[in-house]
Amino acid sequence: MKKLILAIAMTMICFGASAQFNLKWGIKAGLNYQSTNITSSLWKETISAKDRVGWHAGLQASWDLGLLSIDPELVFSRNSIKFNSAASEANNSVVYTHTLDVPVALGINILGPLKIQAGLNFNILSDSGIKKNKLNFDFSTKNQTIGYLLGVMVDLGHINISARYNGFFKNNESHVSLASAGIDTSDLIKMRVSSWQLSAGFYF
């Protein structure tokens, strides 16, 4: 909760400063495609992960410094993963995840409206649940605290379009129990998670 309050306060301060600095702000939304790679050797032999297309929406800002810009955001994302049993794909569960992130990117204007972006992504909230549970397993995930981002944006004034790659510096650790599926184990499953985002935004 403290992280959420701090993130909202920082966002409001940034947006409130737009009258004094060359800062513009607006909204954005788009699609996610998450890539989940199970790195735990035990779990790789037990289940496989298949990602689904998700979505995101949030606030964006851009502080124009001439050749450079500072681009902070506050973004809510929903993703889902389908876990299949190694024995049969009919035995599967669909897990969804909700995250609230504060990406902060440095933009470099390279040609007209085109700029490249690189920066850090701060995960302040993370939640998960099970939508479909034929495997009858329990799933809970830990917060990823910090990651990185690389992308490009076409800024046409009020309208912008961007494509971005998000990654993390370490594996995601999730607690999974599959005892009711005939597998007597309850352990942490380590996954390398990354995602692609395609967004459209509007600056007021």
Domain spans in the chain, listed from the N-terminal domain onward: 2-203
Write down the pLDDT at residue 6.
53
| Confidence (pTM) | 0.81
Looking at domain 2-203, its CATH architecture is: Beta Barrel (2.40)
Please write the tens of the pLDDT for every residue from 51-90: 889 999 999 999 999 999 999 999 999 998 887 776 655 5
Please write the tens of the pLDDT for every residue from 96-138: 889 999 999 999 999 999 999 999 999 888 887 777 666 556 6
Q: Report the range of poorest mean pLDDT among 4-13, 30-39, 58-67, 187-196.
A: 4-13
- Residue 151 backbone dihedrals phi, psi, to 5 degrees: -170, 180
Q: Report the range of poorest mean pLDDT among 26-40, 94-108, 133-147.
A: 133-147
CB-based contact 38:190 (threshold 8 Å): yes
Residue 22 binned pLDDT confidence (cut-offs 50, 70, 90): confident
What is d(CA 66, CA 63) in angstroms, rounded to the nearest whole number? 9
Write down the pLDDT at residue 104.
97
